[in-house]
Amino acid sequence: MEIYLPIAEQSMNVFILLGLGGAAGLLSGMFGVGGGFLATPLLIFVGIPPAVAVASQANQVVSNSISSLQVHWRRGNVDLRMGLVLLLGGMIGSSAGVSLFTYLKAIGQIDFVIAVLYVVMLSTIGVLMLFESARTYIRRRRNPEAPRGKLHTHYLVHRLPLKLRFYKSKLYISALLPIGIGFAIGVLSAILGVGGGFVLVPAMIYILGMPTAVVIGTSNFQILFVAANVTFLQAATNGTVDVVLALLLILGGVVGAPIGSRLAAKLPGVVLRGLMSVLILLVAGELLTELLRTPSSLYSLGTRQVLP
């Protein structure tokens, strides 16, 4: 069944879009990240203009993060203070990101930048995660009774000024660090149409040293508001948010997410992270191939301008 997408200005199969939303939801249920990193490139692969794919996907992220925030909030897994500090950076970053997006679109380089950013981000994170989960897996097999060690490692960055105490995360670190991370995620979110959970979650664990229990809830808190900001700014400045497209992705996601979380409960974390990293690397590989392969046509059209 085909449906016409009024902003993308083309018709598309309803089930493809529901399926894409469902797959993104499944991932978000399994790994606690938005799944946007997968849905956005796939939307572009099926022929949605990148500008519309990114903006509508941001709209989907709003829905996804409110569902999952509901749960984590009730369980008390949100470090509100950390969330607000991250959000401060996130709001600035996403606003800057939308302006950058508009500029890149005007000069015709947005597709390239989106693809390159995805390849760099996904391959870095995929490799890091793969190594981390492999190491943990091997270590556990050798010595299941291994000592836990320190709560987290102390790096140079912990010596920055403006230190704040984050009780829930049991951290005493500079506010500049989460602001900086929030900013970077905000820019990423605006340009790639992702919540950025797949970068934010590892950054919170490995850079900030937050306890895993509060990471997902807190990241969802920040992502909700950043995605809402991106949706608003994209709609206001570029008019590229397709609510019909977003609604279909959302409905798919609503069904996919609980299935994902049920699957996650049955599999150990290390295996999940291993699977996730393989998936991330596959998407990165596909995008890289697209960049390297000689295109079927060298030509494409920019925005059509109706002259007065």
Partner 1 sequence: MRGWSASAALLMAVVLAMPLSAQGPRVEPPAGGIFGPLPGSGQSTDPSAPPSVPNQFETPELIVDLSRPRVSITSAFQGESILLFGMFDPPGEIVVVVVGPPARETVLRKQRVLGLWLNTGRQEFDDVPAYYSIAASQPLQRLLARSAGGEILSLEDRMQSVQSVGQRDHDDLTRFRLGLVEVKRREGLFPAAIGQVTIQANRLFRVELPFPSRLPEGIYEVRTYLLREGRIVAAVSRPLPVGKVGFSAQLAGWADNEGPLYGLGAIFMALLVGWAGGAVMRRI
Write out the residues near partner 1 by the rule CB under 8 A. Answer: 2-4, 6-7, 9-11, 59-60, 62-68, 70-71, 108-109, 111-112, 116, 228, 231-237, 239, 241, 243-244, 246-247, 250-251, 254-255, 257-258, 291-295, 297-307
Please, is 11 exposed, middle or buried when counting C-beta atoms within 10 Å of its C-beta (0-12, 13-18, 19+)? exposed
Identity of the residue, 128 or 244, whose beta carbon is nearer to partner 1 in the bound complex: 244
Taking the complex as a whole, how short is the minimal distance between the CB of residue 236 and partner 1, in angstroms?
4
- Cβ 97 vs Cβ 188: under 8 Å: yes
Taking the complex as a whole, how short is the minimal distance between the CB of residue 59 and partner 1, in angstroms?
5
Return the H-helix or E-strand segment holding 171: strand 171-174
Identity of the residue, 218 or 229, whose beta carbon is nearer to partner 1 in the bound complex: 229
- Report the alpha-carbon distance of residue 245 to residue 225 in Å, rounded: 20
Question: What are the tokens at 287?
Answer: 């995008």
One-letter identity of residue 86: L
Taking the complex as a whole, how short is the minimal distance between the CB of residue 46 and partner 1, in angstroms?
13
Taking the complex as a whole, how short is the minimal distance between the CB of residue 186 and partner 1, in angstroms?
16
- Report the alpha-carbon distance of residue 35 to residue 33 in Å, rounded: 6
Taking the complex as a whole, how short is the minimal distance between the CB of residue 223 and partner 1, in angstroms?
12
- In 3-state terms, what secondary structure has residue 306? coil
Taking the complex as a whole, how short is the minimal distance between the CB of residue 11 and partner 1, in angstroms?
4
CA 182 to chain centre: 12
Residue owning tokens 């996730």:
276
Which residues neighbour 110 within 8 Å (Cβ) at sequence distance 6 or greater?
A: 50, 51, 101, 104
Return the H-helix or E-strand segment holding 229: helix 212-233
Taking the complex as a whole, how short is the minimal distance between the CB of residue 282 and partner 1, in angstroms?
20
Identity of the residue, 116 or 207, whose beta carbon is nearer to partner 1 in the bound complex: 116
- In 3-state terms, what secondary structure has residue 72? helix
Give, to the nearest 10 degrees, the angle between helix 243-266 and helix 50-74. Answer: 50
Identity of the residue, 58 or 179, whose beta carbon is nearer to partner 1 in the bound complex: 58
Identity of the residue, 212 or 289, whose beta carbon is nearer to partner 1 in the bound complex: 289
Identity of the residue, 112 or 172, whose beta carbon is nearer to partner 1 in the bound complex: 112
Give, to the nearest 10 degrees, the angle between helix 36-45 and helix 110-142. Answer: 140
Identity of the residue, 80 or 247, whose beta carbon is nearer to partner 1 in the bound complex: 247
